[in-house]
């Protein structure tokens, strides 16, 4: 079984600050970590390998400092690591990111299972997994909370988390799965893993190695335009109603009527 886990290095905060002039993330003074959801993807990849044999590869796209995140993946048990890094990839929106990652996966001759996090805690779109699947022409299933089985006929059965339950899905591999935190409990790095990580060479891939259309990379290949990024103003005013439910509802209705909002029974 060949497993590729896509990991993104993100700022160690969900309180992302934006430079209002350049509309880009302010990264200074903020430590970088592996996107928390990707830690679950790494763990799941290692568990599949432990059960079915094979290898786990971690793949990331980003600047050279992402090597640090990939080495951390090695310390956890990942076998090999690849970094897509080139100035031509910079400024990519999710469309260009998915295109580039898919080209990287193609160069690695694909995988049986490609694991990703359900979303990155900075970009937060959850679009990269489905986008990579589209580029590769393979199925994807998002929000996976459990891999139930992988059989010899090349089928996988998973549980996909829903708001009020879950759905069981059978798919043919190769498949892309994006995972939620309910899927497992990520392990800590072992001493052996840490030593292996220290000596591990990260394989860096640039646009020259990839069979890629330069017009679909980075800023040039990113049709998404950021018109404005701003921190929403803190809500002012407001009132918290306290007391017995009946009294609170009566007070709320009276406040709504007072504010000119029509209330009444729905016909």
Ligand X SMILES: Cc1cc2nc3c(=O)[nH]c(=O)nc-3n(C[C@H](O)[C@H](O)[C@H](O)COP(=O)(O)OP(=O)(O)OC[C@H]3O[C@@H](n4cnc5c(N)ncnc54)[C@H](O)[C@@H]3O)c2cc1C
Under the rule (CB under 6 A), what is the footprint of ligand X? 6-8, 35, 37-38, 41, 60-62, 91-94, 97, 101, 116-117, 119-120, 122-129, 224, 226
State the minimum distance, in angstroms, from the CB of residue 211 to ligand X.
19
List the beta strands (DSSP E) in the chain.
2-6, 9-11, 18-19, 24-25, 32-34, 55-61, 80-84, 113-117, 140-150, 155-162, 165-172, 175-179, 203-205
Opening angle at CA 55, ends 54 and 57, nearest 5: 155
Which C-beta is closer to ligand X: that of 137 or that of 149? Answer: 137
Concatenated DSSP letters for 182-194? GG--PPPPPHHHH
Which C-beta is closer to ligand X: that of 124 or that of 213? Answer: 124
- Residue 232 neighbours by CB under 8 Å, 6+ apart: none
State the minimum distance, in angstroms, from the CB of residue 164 to ligand X.
23
Residue with token string 């988390």: 161
Which C-beta is closer to ligand X: that of 20 or that of 243? Answer: 20
Which C-beta is closer to ligand X: that of 69 or that of 156? Answer: 69
Burial 181-204 (b: 16+ CB within 10 A, else e): eebbebeeeeeebeebbeebebeb
State the minimum distance, in angstroms, from the CB of residue 259 to ligand X.
35
- Which has the closest alpha carbon to 118: 182, 186, 185? 182
CB distance 169 to 158 below 8 Å: yes
User: CA-CA distance, 234 to 237, in Å (whole number)?
Assistant: 10
State the minimum distance, in angstroms, from the CB of residue 242 to ligand X.
39
Which C-beta is closer to ligand X: that of 77 or that of 129? Answer: 129
State the minimum distance, in angstroms, from the CB of residue 12 to ligand X.
15
State the minimum distance, in angstroms, from the CB of residue 75 to ligand X.
18
Which C-beta is closer to ligand X: that of 197 or that of 205? Answer: 205
């Amino acid at each position: 079984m060949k497993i590729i886990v896509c990991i993104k290095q993100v700022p160690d905060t969900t309180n992302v600050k934006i430079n209002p002039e350049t509309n880009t993330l302010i990264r200074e003074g903020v430590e970088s970590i592996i996107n928390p959801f990707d830690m679950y993807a790494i763990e799941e990849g290692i568990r599949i390998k432990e059960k079915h044999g094979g290898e786990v590869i971690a793949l990331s796209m980003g600047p050279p400092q992402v090597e640090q995140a990939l080495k951390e993946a090695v310390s956890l048990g990942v076998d090999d690591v690849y970094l897509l890094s080139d100035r031509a990839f910079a400024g990519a929106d999710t469309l260009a990111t998915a295109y580039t990652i898919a080209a990287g996966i193609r160069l690695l001759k694909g995988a049986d299972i490609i694991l990703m996090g359900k979303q990155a805690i900075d970009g937060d779109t959850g679009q990269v997994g489905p986008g990579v699947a589209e580029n590769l022409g393979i199925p994807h299933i998002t929000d996976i909370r459990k891999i139930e089985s992988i059989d010899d006929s090349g089928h996988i059965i998973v549980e996909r988390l829903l708001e009020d339950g879950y759905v069981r899905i059978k798919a043919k591999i190769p498949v892309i799965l994006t995972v939620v935190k309910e899927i497992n409990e990520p392990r800590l790095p072992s001493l052996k893993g840490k030593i292996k990580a220290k000596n591990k060479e990260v394989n860096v891939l640039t646009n020259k190695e990839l069979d890629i259309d330069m017009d679909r990379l980075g800023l040039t290949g990113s049709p998404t335009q950021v018109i404005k990024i701003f921190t929403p103003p803190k809500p002012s005013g407001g009132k918290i109603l306290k007391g017995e439910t009946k009294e609170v509802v009566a007070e709320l209705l009276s406040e709504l009527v007072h504010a000119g909002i029509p209330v009444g029974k729905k016909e």
